[in-house]
């Protein structure tokens, strides 16, 4: 059974957010922003953005935890584990892309929460990471 975009937005806003370890992952808190963006997204966009916000994605750290890869290191910089936080906030190899798409070289957790899902999608697409 598949959810329509409006129901998916409700899941993100009401059910998923409390279950996430807020110290490690960042979910935007604006229901209006979530609903507007999710209604215009296709399934791939929803999957990628949700994965980046929750940490359940195809970045190496998550694949390593699932036993699907032997190396959790970042494909771009190789210095840290490749996870959502590292990609969105810390990876030095993505500084120029982060500045161009997210308007900052390095981000704080509150900065991530204030970004639209469309902005996160555009940044993710440009990184070339799965």
Q: Work out the widest C-alpha separation in the chain, in whole angstroms.
A: 40
Hey, is 39 helix, strand or coil?
Answer: helix
Closest C-alpha among 119, 129, 126 to residue 82: 129
Q: Please tell me the distance from the alpha carbon of residue 44 to that of residue 88, in angstroms, as a whole number.
A: 19
CA angle 25, 36, 49 (to 5 degrees): 30
Full residue range of the structural domain in which residue 110 is found? 5-127
In terms of pTM, does the model score above 0.85? Answer: no
pLDDT tens column, 76-130:
999 999 999 999 999 999 999 999 999 999 998 888 888 888 999 999 999 988 7
Give the count of domains, the chain.
Answer: 1
């Amino acid at each position: 059974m598949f959810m329509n975009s409006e129901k998916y937005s409700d899941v993100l806003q009401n059910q998923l957010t409390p279950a996430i370890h807020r110290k490690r992952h960042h979910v935007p808190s604006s229901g209006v922003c979530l609903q507007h963006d999710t209604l215009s997204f296709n399934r791939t966009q929803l999957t990628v953005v949700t994965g980046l916000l929750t940490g359940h994605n195809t970045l190496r750290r998550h694949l390593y935890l699932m036993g699907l890869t032997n190396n959790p290191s970042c494909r771009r910089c190789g210095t840290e584990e490749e996870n959502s936080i590292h990609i969105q906030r810390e990876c030095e190899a993505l500084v120029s892309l982060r500045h161009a798409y997210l308007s900052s070289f390095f981000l704080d957790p509150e900065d991530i929460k204030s970004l639209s899902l469309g902005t996160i999608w555009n940044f993710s697409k440009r990184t070339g990471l799965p």
